[in-house]
Amino acid sequence: MDQIVYFIIGGVVGIVAGYFSAKMLKDQSNERKPRVELKEKNKEKILKQLNERNKISNDDVERLLGVADSSATRYLEELEKEGKIKQVGRTGQSVFYQKK
């Protein structure tokens, strides 16, 4: 008799734990979507700025988007990997980016 009670309790606990695990995973995936959308919008802003001007620097991206230097660098690197822009110059303040 005790084994049956433990089995039922274990089943209920398992179902409840599974429900909450699935809910947490769903919530996490929903949190990622706005970040991806923001990232794409920011990359579009960079490309729009490049359409208006012929070049853009890392500092320009920082000011345009209000992001840190490392974030600006990541945006520019991603756009370069996607083949949308190209880097002119190698290092330092003389580096800027142009549309391909």
Q: Which of 27, 29, 65 is nearest to 46 (CA)?
A: 65
Q: Domain of 21? A: 2-99
pTM: 0.67
Residue range 18-69, pLDDT digits in tens: 776 766 666 565 556 688 899 999 999 999 999 999 999 999 999 999 999 9
pLDDT of residue 47: 97
Instruction: Supply the CATH number for residue 70's domain.
Output: 1.10.10.10
The least confident of 1-5, 73-77, 86-90 is 1-5
Beta bridge partners of 97: 56, 87
Domain count of the chain? Answer: 1
pLDDT at 50: 95
DSSP state of 56: B
